[in-house]
């Protein structure tokens, strides 16, 4: 035969043999893991809970199936000496291949995070072929992580998605927590001059009932998953929680505010004026003066007025200027409070050390060994804030302003 | 070993019976004998009409006209030929040479010539000419009376355009060449005709523009046509298959068209057209791959629009090539690539499907191919039934029975539409065949397999030549100047050169600075619009 065809012929014959179908999986043979929860047993072994998506029951996917009538997830629990062993052991219970490429949520119990930290766990996730480094990490506060992934949720039928969405939206709209993924966590954890932050979640209500379909059959639900606080890590272990106003202050300094609201008091009225940030930039600069590190934080915010519950004339530039002044003070207070809190716990969550490392590597070398314990708590941080009101919403003066005039 | 050599080898050892062996080569003097030979050779076929004519003034002189019923234009024979023969004989009684009289006087027919050998006589007779024989003459007079019932010039069914000429070629070779001549009124438009096919004696013409076309290409076309020794040529497809560079490959290296404007455009770029009698499909050589994604209409609409449409066509071609393969690869190898929500939906659909994705895809593709073929060949009334059954079987039954997932139906339907959106059927059909190969390689090795397949495909395409022109020109080899008329269609005013890959003798197509410019003075604009306004209602 023609010699020209011999080589392509053999190539074609050997091609399937060489590669085979080793990585081929039919969709039917995959158990799509949406969330992976890790707890610790009394005997020191890990307890993993896998939240698997049950495609037939996910509403929107048509045909047959009892979509909406049965839980759209199934959970399995297994134990093991390390996260990989846990998932290997789980495969004795699950009829399919556990598939982690779509795992979007990693839940760690508070207990495990405090006692053992995340350092030993995360290697399995990072090294694995399927696990994504964009998987979000959260901590279940005062409860078992396994319970957390078993709670059903309305609207977003896959609970992992619900948790991630609330995480991302509260970060974006309220500036009250941080969405930390695997990659971000590891990056911050290995730096000497920075510590990672991880959001906490709690479930309020009857957890056992929330695991059944009863949860979805009432408008209220038996229990709700909610974002609650930011966990501060030091040396890979959970140290303490930041809560309330300090959350926002922390995010201001971290340059992670996107659309946060700022409420200020006016004429003795609490939260009389509400301001919504639409654009924000925080610059952190580190210097050394007389061998002492000095950090200056400059926050610049632009936004709109959203609520004015007091009769003020916002068409008057002087009034606007006074409101801006008050806003600046408020933001500055929040930021400083957050910094003081961090200094008290001796954890540099803002990465001031890293800034110093970049701007003055030589003195950083000297400061590094005692940075967290000695230098950071004593750090002199200068916070300056610029706040601008760009618009006053859909109207100028509040109707209260005209109302008062009428009564005069 | 090339196909042609193969053909030659397979040719039977004994030469085919030459039907003229041992018979007189040239025409004799006796009219009765000549007519007998004609009758004998045509087997007394009743459609060979022989009319004896005797002239009233001199009954001694007998002449005969012979023609084939249906191939000739009857009014021409009756009103002009016979009548004027009669008249001319009466006028010039003294003249001895009848044929000379006819030649001079019979002006009513377009051409007259004399022939002496039987071969040419029969060829002329069977082409629709009328043969005039006279007693005592050892030659025949041939009057051009070709005609008869033919299809009229109509819009082409296979190449429909919204803008541009609606004329399409017919089965008559003369009409076809005339249609092109009507577009290019230039003495440099040269036509060479020949006769091929041992049994069918099919008329063939090659057409090119002298001064533009590369003479080597014409020589090559002549040479390749000269080698053709087929028994029958029933369509230009016969010629196409024996003059192609690579006829065993999947990709066409000769284009064909039914539109005179497409032929004209190609001639002007320096290509050669081959007309074959009896088919409206005119071959155009050399062909490059990108041509199969172009239509004449592209040049009639504004360039951004036709650029977009051309890109769409290439995209559609890719979809029709690797659409199902992509789906199979993504769902069996690369589930991590699919967004979670989509993956859940696809997973829920395949949950009840008993087959692996590749089997699913093959079932659907094969079903679709069957439906397409069934719908194509059936009479219109039945094909409506087929489409209803097809829609029910594919669209509903298969899904409800849980044999194939809805997502797969969407993929196959998209692929089907995409393959129909490729303007040229020849290239669409190549993609149709290759699609199955890609599906299999995707099932074996995922995207890796698809990429391997694509690499092999591109290597194959770069190895192809069409009459010496690289098939992937102007991309490989790269010709920057010709790139503006490929996937993109540049503005008409920028087409200053003909495509380099065709080696045109005269590479300059048009004058420079063809880009329209607004008048320099603003005032002039105003004056123009004012005048225009007056004319408008």
Asked if B344 lies within 8 A of A28 by C-beta distance, the reply is no
Residues 6 or more apart in contact with residue A273 via CB below 8 angstroms: A263, A264, A266, A305, A307, A308, A309, A310, A312, A323, A326
Confidence of residue A362 (pLDDT cuts 50, 70, 90): confident
Judge residue A257's burial from the number of C-beta atoms within 10 Å of its C-beta, 0-12 exposed, 13-18 middle, 19 or more buried. buried
In terms of DSSP bridges, do strands B202-209 and B255-257 run parallel, antiparallel, or are they unpaired? unpaired
Tally Cβ neighbours within 10 Å of residue A81. Answer: 11
Tell me the residue ranges of DSSP E strands in A167-260.
197-205, 223-234, 237-242
Q: Which residues of B touch A30 (CB under 8 A)?
A: 335, 347
DSSP-assigned letter for residue A34: E
Strand partners, B92: none
Q: Give percent of chain B above pLDDT 90.
A: 38
Q: Nearest Cβ partner of A28 from B351, B445, B456?
A: B351
pLDDT: which is higher, B76 or B174: B174
Chain A residue whose CA is closest to B337: A101
Q: Which residues of B touch A62 (CB under 8 A)?
A: 348-349, 406
Cα separation, B382 vs B374, in Å, equals 10
Which pLDDT score is estimated for B534?
47
Go through the domains of chain A in sequence order and give each one's CATH number: 27-243 (no CATH), 244-408 (3.30.300.210)
Q: Which residues of A touch B410 (CB under 8 A)?
A: none
Which of A172-181, B123-132, B141-150 has the highest mean predicted lDDT (pLDDT)?
B123-132
Which pLDDT score is estimated for A375?
87
The answer to whether B139 and B116 have CB atoms below 8 angstroms apart is yes
Shortest Cα distance from B361 to chain A (angstroms)? Answer: 13
Shortest Cα distance from A36 to chain B (angstroms)? Answer: 15
Six token digits for residue A58: 């996910």
Q: What is the mean pLDDT of residues A185-196?
A: 86
Asked if B441 lies within 8 A of A63 by C-beta distance, the reply is no
The answer to whether A262 and A177 have CB atoms below 8 angstroms apart is no
**Stretch among A172-176, A257-261, B526-530 having the lowest mean pLDDT:** B526-530
The answer to whether B331 and B442 have CB atoms below 8 angstroms apart is no
Comparing CA positions, the residue from A392, A321, B228, A247 lying closest to residue A401 is A392
Q: Nearest Cβ partner of A53 from B344, B441, B443?
A: B344
Confidence of residue A21 (pLDDT cuts 50, 70, 90): low
pLDDT at A279 over 50: yes
Which pLDDT score is estimated for B99?
74
Q: What is the mean pLDDT of residues B396-415?
A: 87
The answer to whether B469 and B502 have CB atoms below 8 angstroms apart is yes
pLDDT: which is higher, B158 or A47: A47
Q: Nearest Cβ partner of A25 from B332, B452, B456?
A: B332
Asked if A26 lies within 8 A of B357 by C-beta distance, the reply is yes
Confidence of residue B120 (pLDDT cuts 50, 70, 90): confident
**Stretch among B301-305, B437-441, B513-517 having the lowest mean pLDDT:** B513-517
Percent of residues in chain A assigned helix, strand, coil, to nearest 5: 40, 30, 30
What would the pLDDT profile of A6-18 be if each residue is shown by its tens digit?
888 877 777 666 6
Which of A266-275, A374-383, B173-182 has the highest mean predicted lDDT (pLDDT)?
B173-182
Q: Nearest Cβ partner of A55 from B331, B332, B347?
A: B347
pLDDT at A334 over 70: yes
**Stretch among A214-218, A385-389, B91-95, B245-249 having the lowest mean pLDDT:** B91-95
Comparing CA positions, the residue from B515, B466, B502 lying closest to residue B287 is B466
Six token digits for residue A381: 């941080």
pLDDT at B532 over 50: no
Chain A residue whose CA is closest to B333: A24
Strand partners, B343: none
Shortest Cα distance from B472 to chain A (angstroms)? Answer: 21
Confidence of residue B87 (pLDDT cuts 50, 70, 90): confident
Q: Which residues of B touch A99 (CB under 8 A)?
A: 335
Q: Nearest Cβ partner of A27 from B340, B350, B448?
A: B350
What would the pLDDT profile of B26-66 be if each residue is shown by its tens digit?
888 888 888 888 888 888 888 988 888 777 666 667 788 89
Comparing CA positions, the residue from B206, B236, B235 lying closest to residue B219 is B206
Cα separation, B463 vs B460, in Å, equals 5
Q: What is the mean pLDDT of residues A218-222?
A: 84
Which pLDDT score is estimated for B418?
92
Shortest Cα distance from A191 to chain B (angstroms)? Answer: 30
Six token digits for residue A119: 């350092």
Which pLDDT score is estimated for A315?
87
Which pLDDT score is estimated for B15?
47
Q: What is the mean pLDDT of residues B292-312?
A: 92
Which pLDDT score is estimated for B80?
75
Within an 8 Å CB–CB cutoff, is residue B437 touching chain A? no
Q: Nearest Cβ partner of A55 from B351, B443, B444?
A: B351
Question: Can you give the residue ranges of every domain in chain B?
Answer: 31-143, 173-299, 303-463
Confidence of residue A155 (pLDDT cuts 50, 70, 90): confident
Which pLDDT score is estimated for B17?
46
pLDDT at B451 over 60: yes
Which pLDDT score is estimated for B22?
57
Within an 8 Å CB–CB cutoff, is residue B354 touching chain A? no
Cα separation, B405 vs B426, in Å, equals 31
Confidence of residue B105 (pLDDT cuts 50, 70, 90): low
Asked if B349 lies within 8 A of A61 by C-beta distance, the reply is yes
Within an 8 Å CB–CB cutoff, is residue B300 touching chain A? no
Confidence of residue B78 (pLDDT cuts 50, 70, 90): confident
Q: Which residues of A touch B343 (CB under 8 A)?
A: 27, 32, 102
Confidence of residue B20 (pLDDT cuts 50, 70, 90): very low
Chain A residues within 8 Å of chain B (Cβ atoms): 2, 8, 15-16, 19-21, 23-28, 30, 32, 34, 53, 55-56, 58, 60-65, 99, 101-102, 104, 130, 132, 158, 161
Residue corresponding to tokens 């006074």: A322
Report residue A36: phi and psi, to 5°: -130, 120
Six token digits for residue A255: 């340059």
Residue corresponding to tokens 């949950």: B351
What would the pLDDT profile of B334-348 be if each residue is shown by its tens digit?
998 999 889 988 988
Shortest Cα distance from B295 to chain A (angstroms)? Answer: 35
| CA B313 centroid distance within chain | 21
What is the average pLDDT value for chain A, to the nearest integer? 86
What would the pLDDT profile of B226-258 be if each residue is shown by its tens digit?
999 999 999 999 999 999 988 778 899 999 999
pLDDT at B18 over 50: no
Confidence of residue B300 (pLDDT cuts 50, 70, 90): very high
Chain B residue whose CA is closest to A1: B1
**Which of A13, A24, A25, A56 is the best residue to mutate to test the B interface, defined by the most B CB atoms within 10 Å of its own CB?**
A24
Six token digits for residue B247: 């006829």
Asked if B444 lies within 8 A of A15 by C-beta distance, the reply is yes
Cα separation, B347 vs A65, in Å, equals 12
Cα separation, A278 vs A312, in Å, equals 22
Which pLDDT score is estimated for A135?
92
Which pLDDT score is estimated for B537?
41
Shortest Cα distance from A272 to chain B (angstroms)? Answer: 42
Q: Nearest Cβ partner of B344 from A15, A16, A58?
A: A58
pLDDT at A325 over 90: yes
Which pLDDT score is estimated for A121?
86
In terms of DSSP bridges, do strands B48-55 and B58-68 run parallel, antiparallel, or are they unpaired? antiparallel
Q: What is the mean pLDDT of residues A376-401?
A: 87
Q: What is the mean pLDDT of residues A115-130?
A: 86
Q: Which residues of A touch B333 (CB under 8 A)?
A: 23-25
Asked if A55 lies within 8 A of B356 by C-beta distance, the reply is no
What would the pLDDT profile of A55-79 be if each residue is shown by its tens digit?
888 766 555 445 567 888 899 999 9
What would the pLDDT profile of A240-250 be if each residue is shown by its tens digit?
898 877 888 88
User: What is the CA angle B255-B267-B175, rounded to 5?
Assistant: 85
Task: Say how many CB pairs under 8 Å bridge A and B.
Answer: 93
Confidence of residue B100 (pLDDT cuts 50, 70, 90): confident
Comparing CA positions, the residue from A149, A151, A143 lying closest to residue A211 is A151
Cα separation, B496 vs A387, in Å, equals 60
What would the pLDDT profile of B370-389 be if each residue is shown by its tens digit?
888 888 888 878 878 887 88
Asked if B333 lies within 8 A of A27 by C-beta distance, the reply is no
Q: Give percent of chain A above pLDDT 70.
A: 94
What is the average pLDDT value for chain B, to the nearest integer? 85
Q: Which residues of B touch A25 (CB under 8 A)?
A: 332-333, 335
pLDDT: which is higher, B513 or B99: B513
Confidence of residue A220 (pLDDT cuts 50, 70, 90): confident
């Amino acid at each position: 035969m023609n010699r020209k065809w011999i080589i392509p012929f053999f190539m074609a014959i050997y091609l399937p043999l060489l590669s085979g179908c080793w990585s081929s999986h039919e969709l039917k043979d995959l158990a799509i893991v949406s969330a992976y929860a890790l707890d610790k047993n009394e005997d020191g072994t890990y307890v993993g809970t896998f939240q698997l998506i049950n495609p037939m029951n996910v509403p929107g996917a048509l045909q047959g199936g009892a979509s909406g009538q049965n839980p759209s997830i199934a959970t399995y629990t297994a134990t093991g000496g390390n996260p990989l062993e846990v998932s290997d052991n789980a495969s004795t219970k699950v009829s399919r291949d556990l598939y982690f490429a779509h795992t979007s949520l990693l839940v760690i119990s508070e207990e495990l995070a405090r006692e053992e930290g995340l350092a030993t766990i995360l290697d399995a996730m990072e090294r694995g072929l399927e696990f994504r480094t964009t998987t979000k990490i959260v901590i279940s506060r005062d409860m078992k992580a396994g319970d957390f992934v078993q709670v059903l949720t309305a609207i977003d039928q896959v609970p992992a998605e619900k948790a991630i969405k609330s995480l991302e939206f509260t970060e974006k709209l309220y500036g009250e927590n941080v969405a930390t993924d695997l990659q971000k966590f590891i990056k911050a954890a290995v730096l000497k001059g920075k510590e990672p932050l991880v959001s906490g979640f709690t479930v309020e209500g009857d957890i056992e009932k929330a695991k059944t379909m009863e949860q979805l059959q009432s408008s209220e639900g038996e229990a709700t998953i909610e974002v609650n606080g930011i966990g501060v890590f030091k040396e890979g272990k959970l140290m303490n929680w930041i809560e309330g106003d300090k959350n926002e202050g922390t995010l201001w300094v971290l340059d992670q505010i996107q659309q946060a609201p700022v409420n200020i008091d006016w004429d003795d009225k609490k939260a009389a004026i509400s301001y919504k940030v639409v654009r924000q930039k925080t610059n952190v600069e580190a210097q050394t003066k007389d061998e002492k590190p000095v950090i200056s934080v400059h926050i610049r915010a632009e936004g709109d007025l959203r609520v004015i519950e007091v009769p003020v004339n916002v068409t008057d530039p002087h009034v606007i200027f006074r409101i801006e002044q008050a806003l600046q003070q408020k933001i500055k207070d929040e930021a400083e409070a957050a910094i003081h809190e961090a200094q008290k716990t001796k954890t540099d969550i803002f990465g001031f050390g890293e800034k110093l490392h970049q701007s003055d590597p030589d003195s950083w070398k000297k400061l590094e060994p005692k940075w967290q314990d000695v230098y950071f708590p004593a750090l002199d941080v200068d916070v300056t804030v610029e706040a601008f009101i760009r618009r006053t919403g859909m109207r100028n003066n509040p109707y209260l302003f005209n109302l008062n005039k009428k009564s005069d | 070993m090339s196909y042609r050599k193969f053909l030659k080898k397979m040719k039977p050892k004994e030469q085919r019976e030459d039907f003229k062996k041992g018979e007189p080569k040239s025409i004799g003097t006796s009219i009765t004998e000549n007519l007998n030979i004609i009758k004998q050779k045509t087997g007394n076929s009743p459609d060979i009409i022989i009319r004896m004519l005797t002239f009233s003034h001199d009954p001694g002189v007998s002449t005969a006209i012979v023609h084939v019923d249906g191939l000739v234009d009857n009014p021409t024979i009756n009103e002009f030929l016979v009548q004027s023969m009669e008249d001319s004989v009466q006028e010039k009684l003294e003249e001895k040479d009848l044929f000379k009289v006819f030649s001079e006087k019979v002006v009513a027919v377009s051409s007259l010539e004399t022939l002496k050998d039987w071969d040419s006589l029969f060829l002329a007779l069977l082409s629709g000419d009328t043969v005039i024989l006279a007693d005592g003459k050892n030659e025949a007079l041939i009057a051009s009376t070709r005609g008869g019932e033919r299809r009229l010039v109509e819009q082409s069914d296979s190449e429909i355009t919204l803008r541009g000429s609606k004329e399409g070629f017919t089965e008559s070779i003369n009409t076809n060449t005339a249609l092109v001549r009507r577009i290019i009124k230039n003495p440099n438009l040269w036509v060479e005709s020949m006769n091929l096919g041992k049994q069918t004696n099919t008329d063939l013409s090659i057409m090119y523009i002298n001064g533009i076309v590369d003479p080597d290409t014409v020589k090559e076309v002549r040479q390749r046509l000269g080698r053709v020794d087929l028994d029958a040529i029933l369509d230009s497809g016969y010629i196409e298959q024996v003059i192609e560079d690579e006829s065993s490959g999947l990709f066409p290296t000769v284009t064909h068209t039914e539109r005179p404007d497409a032929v004209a455009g190609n001639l002007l770029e320096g290509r050669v057209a081959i007309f074959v009698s009896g088919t409206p499909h005119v071959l155009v050589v050399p062909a490059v791959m990108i041509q199969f994604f172009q239509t004449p209409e592209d040049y009639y609409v504004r360039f951004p629009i036709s650029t977009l449409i051309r890109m769409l066509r290439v995209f559609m071609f890719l979809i029709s090539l690797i659409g199902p393969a992509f789906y199979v690869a993504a769902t069996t190898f690369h589930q991590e690539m699919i967004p979670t929500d989509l993956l859940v939906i696809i997973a829920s659909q395949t949950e009840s499907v008993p087959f692996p994705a590749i089997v699913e895809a093959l079932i659907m593709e094969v079903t679709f191919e069957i439906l397409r073929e069934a719908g194509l060949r059936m009479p219109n009334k039945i094909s409506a039934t087929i489409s209803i059954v097809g829609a029910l079987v594919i669209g509903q039954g298969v899904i409800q029975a849980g044999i194939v997932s809805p997502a797969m139906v969407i993929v196959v339907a998209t692929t089907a539409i995409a393959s129909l959106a490729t303007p040229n059927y020849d290239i669409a059909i190549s993609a149709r065949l290759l699609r199955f190969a890609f599906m299999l390689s995707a099932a074996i090795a995922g995207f890796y397999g698809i990429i391997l397949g694509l690499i092999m495909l591109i290597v194959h395409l770069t190895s192809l030549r069409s009459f010496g022109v690289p098939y992937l020109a102007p991309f490989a080899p790269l010709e920057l100047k010709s790139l503006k008329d490929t996937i993109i269609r540049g503005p008409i005013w920028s087409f200053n050169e003909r495509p380099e890959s065709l080696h045109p003798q005269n590479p300059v197509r048009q004058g420079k600075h063809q880009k329209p410019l607004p008048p320099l003075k603003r005032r002039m604009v105003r004056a123009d619009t004012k005048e225009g306004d007056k004319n408008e209602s």
